[in-house]
Chain A
């Protein structure tokens, strides 16, 4: 499948004896909005962290644009204790990239609990996302030999802020913004890294229905405007059902269903996972 921008195969994350994510397979087609849902503690954020390099998964393969960005198999101590499947499928070279390398490759993410740089202004928060692609070195930066590049970075940042309607807050300290705007700023910061795939971890957490509604439109809008593929984790079902093209449902680290929103809504397994099953039946 050539048009899958992200291909996740058999990702297993085992912490000690606990398997947080178990043999997860995902395929995310380019230009679509794909959601990952599941009850609390299902392993959604862990899956995110495995893809973005925060965790090194115990087993499995992640390919981005056809290139392996994560590839691992149980080794060392984990070899004996491994409880998942396909423990010997991914033998060979281990690919483990740190988050910054993966971000440079074109995957940007936001966080469940907003992680803005709290002493910096809105402008600086977005400006710094441009730092990684700058060609300057520390000497040219100190002695201001990079004026052209710095000016270009500032211009791009300003343009992005204007597009996101954040320009009037540009000199405010980032964490002094209202909650909804902080979310938006975090997304703007992620966009500043010029990603191809944007991963949103519960973008609507803590938002009221009105704000959630706006967010849904906003996500679609940025998808079209910046040619993005969007992969999100969300608990607000109305948001998920409304915007996603495809949904994966996981519970206890294992996939229990996948399909288009209408299929998921009527899936008995999903309803059971969310509402619980009666003991005697």
Chain B
């Protein structure tokens, strides 16, 4: 059996990921844990998973879907409903006089293993994991059902249909009649969040902070599975459907089956992403899952490069860092000496952001990576060393041409 050779680029990428994980753990336990850096890491991890799941559909299968927020909503609600502890459930649902659902995965495992110390931590992990997987499955199930009629549509029409689906879902989850399940338009809270993964001693003082590395690990594992999928025979089939549907069908690829498969898998991970988003935000409310959320994620996919997994990941951290951190100063009045800089006021950040995005879309249509991965780029640089600038130039030209045809 032939084993595939691991290239240097792949190795370097893996080492980088590992280094980021270790650095996160170290930083979180040494510097101020309330730093905005950790918000960026957590939110970035969640967004990169959702962006990669969207990339799987839009970039690798060529199905232009804008339903990501809807599937995140399903995932987030499924997670929250499954994990709110029985003790606080009635207080969360007080407007509807209690929930019609009395089960919590964490509670279930605590019932078996016990809720104290290490056993409590294990049951927390198991409960959360099960809830996350169920969240993904719920989203995938809905995707399957929606996909039956909707996946016959092409490009823009598919986008409109999925966008509509997400909006309808948001309205349904705010419906009073479902209050006993969804808590109507009110927030769900009290379920385990990332900070519950910090290890505390008996007195309740945090010994080891893991709250930022946990989302990185979960999102990383999911993205790894997506990468495995893309490099498998099915991933190639998805790309064939994207490149030329008619040829794909003529070569025996069942279009309906493969499109539905891609849609379900993408939605599964969007659902998982929704669950992580719920853990990040610590409250779930249907009104946060607007189409604006989908656009944000779509933007990340475009910035990173449609068809590049590493591109989506890096772009999401970059995007979140910009919007949450680096461009924050634009929202406050600033002074140079005594001179107040004009335009710097609340909301100016979004104006600057929009301009940056327009520049990217107009002049860097391929995004950061085009449809290459970080590993490819590192490998290419290595090969280029003996002064093959001409070859590099021509390959760059090729990639811009490809961008234009898209």
Contacts and interface: CB of A to CB of B under 8 A. Distances in A.
A189 to B, nearest CB: 7
A261 B251 CA distance: 31
A142 interface: yes
A123 to B, nearest CB: 10
Given A119-B239, A134-B233, A142-B234, 9 more contacts: A54-B249, A100-B255, A108-B251, A117-B240, A128-B233, A129-B251, A136-B233, A141-B229, A142-B229
A128 B250 contact: no
B77 to A, nearest CB: 26
Interface in A119-156: 119-120, 124, 127-129, 131-134, 136, 138, 141-144, 146-148, 150-151, 153-154
A119 B237 CA distance: 12
A115 B261 CA distance: 24
A142 B232 contact: yes
User: Dominant SS at the B interface?
Assistant: helix
Given A151-B2, A153-B233, A117 B244 contact: yes
A99 B247 CA distance: 10
Contact of B1 (A109, A124, A132, A148): A148
B232 A141 contact: yes
Given A141-B233, A142-B232, A154-B2, A100 B243 contact: no
B252 A142 contact: no
Contacts of A141: 229, 232-234
A200 B208 CA distance: 67
B250 A117 contact: no
A90 interface: no
Interface residues of A, number: 42
A4 B371 CA distance: 47
A100 B249 contact: yes
6 contacts: A98-B256, A100-B251, A101-B254, A109-B250, A120-B239, A128-B233
Chain B interface size range: 20 to 34
Contact of A128 (B1, B242, B251): B251
Contact of B249 (A99, A119, A136, A176): A99
Contacts of B252: 100, 103-104, 129, 131-133, 193
Contacts of B265: 138
Contacts of B261: 138
A52 interface: yes
Contacts of B243: 117-120
Contact of B228 (A120, A142, A147, A193): A142
User: Dominant SS at the A interface?
Assistant: helix
A249 B232 CA distance: 45
A69 to B, nearest CB: 14
A154 B1 CA distance: 11
Nearest to B251: A129
- Among B229, B243, B250, find the residue whose CB has the most chain A CB atoms closer than 10 A: B250
A116 interface: yes
A127 B236 contact: yes
A144 B249 contact: no
A134 B265 CA distance: 20
A142 B233 contact: no
B225 interface: yes
B89 to A, nearest CB: 35
Contact of A98 (B1, B2, B251, B255): B255
A101 B243 CA distance: 20
Contacts of B1: 147-148, 151
Contacts of B237: 128, 131
A111 interface: yes
A129 B240 CA distance: 10
Contact of A54 (B244, B246, B371): B246
Nearest to B237: A131
Contacts of B228: 142-144
- Among B252, B256, B265, find the residue whose CB has the most chain A CB atoms closer than 10 A: B252
Contacts of B242: 119
A5 B13 CA distance: 54
A116 B247 contact: yes
A103 B250 CA distance: 6
Nearest to A104: B252
B309 to A, nearest CB: 14
Interface string A105-116: 000110100011
A154 B261 CA distance: 24
Contacts of B240: 117, 120, 128
A253 B265 CA distance: 45
Given A117-B243, A142-B225, A143-B228, A124 B236 contact: yes
Q: What are the 9 tightest A-B residue pairs by CB atom distance, in nearest-first order?
A: A132-B252, A115-B247, A141-B232, A117-B243, A103-B252, A99-B249, A100-B254, A100-B252, A129-B251
Given A131-B236, A136-B233, A103 B251 contact: yes
B253 interface: yes
Contact of B233 (A100, A118, A131, A189): A131
A117 B229 contact: no
A118 B239 CA distance: 10
B250 A52 contact: yes
A244 to B, nearest CB: 23
Interface string A20-59: 0000000000000000000000000000000010100000
Nearest to A141: B232
A124 B242 CA distance: 14
A100 B253 contact: yes
B253 A117 contact: no
A150 B1 CA distance: 10
B255 A119 contact: no
A156 to B, nearest CB: 13
Nearest to B226: A142
Interface string B337-357: 000000000000000000000
Nearest to B371: A119
Contacts of A124: 236
A127 B2 CA distance: 16
A52 to B, nearest CB: 7
Interface string B244-274: 1011111111111000010001000000000
- Among B233, B243, B251, B253, find the residue whose CB has the most chain A CB atoms closer than 10 A: B251
- Among A115, A127, A143, find the residue whose CB has the most chain B CB atoms closer than 10 A: A115
